[in-house]
């Protein structure tokens, strides 16, 4: 098993980036819909994405393949969730060969995303143990919602993540 990812300095940097990105997201959603420009919001979450890649490499190839709920991701899980909700580098991380069955609740006021935020990858051993699914599937589903323009749902999910994880940081 690998070491826990994220030093105190890493967490401080991620917190600063996260707070700034969330404020930008909040400000943009406060504008009339025709005036919204999400470029700077996506750029802010891309900065978190790049910081996460810096932190996890070479321990893992991608933070999106880590196990949600795993010991290694504990300190950075909040930041991974926030990032996958808003930013998708459109890498080929999605596959139809997932083994977890996830039943979204369309009435969760989060477009079915709450189930992904609340669940953990099952504990696995042996080959493939490092290949978590939850972060990748959440990113894929959130991208679908963003592509449909449902940024209010993404923001509700983001607010839920920030509330749920504020005690962990």
Q: Is residue 3 part of a domain?
A: no
* Residues spanned by the domain of 102: 8-165
Q: Is residue 46 part of a domain?
A: yes
Tokens of 167: 């005690």
Judge whether residue 124 has pLDDT over 60.
yes
Residue 123 dihedral angles phi and psi, to the nearest 5°: -70, 125
Region 139-167: what's the mean pLDDT? Answer: 93
pLDDT, position 13: 96
127: left (phi over 0), alpha (psi -120 to 50) or beta: beta
The structural domain count of the chain equals: 1
Q: Is residue 151 part of a domain?
A: yes
Q: Is residue 1 part of a domain?
A: no
Polymer length in residues for the chain: 169
Q: Is residue 2 part of a domain?
A: no
Q: Is residue 118 part of a domain?
A: yes
H-helix segments, 57-133: 77-86, 114-118
Judge whether residue 89 has pLDDT over 50.
yes
Residue 6 banded pLDDT, cuts 50, 70, 90? confident
Instruction: Return the sign of the alpha-carbon dihedral for residues 29, 79, 166, 70.
Output: positive
């Amino acid at each position: 098993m690998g070491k826990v990812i994220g030093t105190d300095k890493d967490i401080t940097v991620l917190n600063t980036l996260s707070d700034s990105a969330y404020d930008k997201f909040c400000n943009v959603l406060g504008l009339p819909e025709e005036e919204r420009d999400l470029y700077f919001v996506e750029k802010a979450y891309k900065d978190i994405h790049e910081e996460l890649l810096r932190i996890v490499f070479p321990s893992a190839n991608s933070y999106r393949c880590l196990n949600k709920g795993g010991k290694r991701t504990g300190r950075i899980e909040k930041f991974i969730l926030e990032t996958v909700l808003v930013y998708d580098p459109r890498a080929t991380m999605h596959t139809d060969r997932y083994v977890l069955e996830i039943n979204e609740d369309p009435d969760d006021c989060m477009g079915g995303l709450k189930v992904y935020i609340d669940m953990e990858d099952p504990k696995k051993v042996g080959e493939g143990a490092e290949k978590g699914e939850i972060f990748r599937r959440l990113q894929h589903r959130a991208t679908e919602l963003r592509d449909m323009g449902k940024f209010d749902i993404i923001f509700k999910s983001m607010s839920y993540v920030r509330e749920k994880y504020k005690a962990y940081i």
